[in-house]
């Protein structure tokens, strides 16, 4: 049986899906047809219901809960891992400043809307181009995610706000960034089988951290081992193994803030 799977090329995704993709674990007769894409592209595909299983931002998930359920493993939640608003040191920001975001359906953009609603002059670009947009002064500031957390200071840029820190101070919960969703119309036994395979893939990755290095580097934007390791250590944690009660509570709270019903969203 073939299942379509969408993931990003970022190190946390390639790390946790390596064992599943390369059959280092038992995939129980399922062949995964893998589609790599930037998170905003995955978000848009999820909203249109394109793939059977997909990584997506929780902001995008709030828009497609009629089509998808959230799997218990594979999510990116945590503390100290939220998106950062950055700028040039000399730039003075106002409510009219032009802000580049990594996609309007990303959780990063949603958090900026919730926590700093005065910044409304926004446009989107792929996450890996945001630092460049600021340096070229196409944008006054930018919202960064993924590897850029570890590279922006080396390019002479400075942090304005850590949106994850603001979320944690206000809500006393980990910040829910993204998760793995599965189509509701798949048979329940198949949904549970895929959830089990993903759990085993995450566990294998954590127990065998060197096994996926070549695969990760073949897709990463930044190739330095220190950046890749820092990325994985930040975004892959206990919530990636299982959301547990606290992780589910954080997701429900985010949905509450945007007025979306969070009943029956978890497999």
Catalytic residues: 146
Query: Half-sphere exposure of 122 toward its Cβ, with a 13 Å CA cutoff?
Result: 21
First to last CA, the chain: 21
In eight-state DSSP terms, residue 29 is T
For 127, other C-beta atoms within 10 Å of its C-beta total 27
State how beta strands 76-78 and 84-87 pair.
unpaired
3-state helix, strand, coil in the chain (%, to 5): 45, 20, 40
C-beta separation of 206 from 241 below 8 A: yes
Long-range contacts, stretch 212-216, CB < 8 angstroms, 24+ apart: 212/14, 212/15, 212/18, 212/19, 215/14, 215/18, 215/21, 215/22, 216/11, 216/14, 216/15, 216/18
The partner residues of 6 in beta bridges, in order of sequence, read 35, 54
Query: Which residues, at least 6 apart from 80, have a Cβ–Cβ distance to it below 8 Å?
Result: 164, 165, 234
State how beta strands 31-36 and 2-7 pair.
parallel
């Amino acid at each position: 049986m073939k299942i379509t799977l969408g993931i990003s090329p970022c190190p946390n995704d390639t790390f946790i899906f390596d064992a599943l993709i390369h059959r280092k674990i038992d995939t129980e007769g399922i062949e995964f047809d893998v589609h790599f894409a930037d998170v905003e592209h995955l978000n848009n595909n999820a909203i249109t219901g394109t793939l059977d299983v997909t990584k997506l931002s929780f902001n995008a998930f709030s828009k497609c809960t009629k089509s998808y359920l959230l799997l218990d493993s594979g999510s990116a939640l945590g503390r100290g891992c939220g998106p950062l608003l950055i700028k040039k040191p000399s730039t003075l920001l106002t409510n009219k400043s032009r802000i580049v975001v990594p996609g309007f359906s990303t959780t990063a953009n949603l958090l900026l809307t919730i926590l700093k609603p005065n910044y409304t002059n926004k446009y989107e670009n792929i996450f890996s181009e945001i630092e460049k947009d600021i340096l070229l002064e196409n944008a006054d500031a930018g919202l960064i995610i993924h590897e850029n957390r570890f590279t922006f200071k080396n390019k002479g840029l400075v942090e304005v706000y850590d949106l994850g820190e603001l979320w944690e101070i206000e809500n006393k919960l980990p910040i829910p960034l993204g998760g793995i969703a599965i189509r509701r119309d798949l048979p329940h036994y198949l949904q549970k089988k895929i959830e089990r395979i993903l759990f085993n893939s995450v566990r294998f990755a954590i127990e065998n951290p060197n096994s996926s290095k070549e695969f990760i580097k073949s897709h990463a934007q930044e190739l330095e081992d220190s950046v890749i390791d820092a990325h994985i250590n930040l975004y892959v944690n206990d919530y990636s193994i299982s959301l547990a009660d606290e992780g589910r509570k954080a997701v429900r709270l985010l949905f509450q803030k945007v007025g979306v019903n969070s009943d029956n969203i978890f497999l």
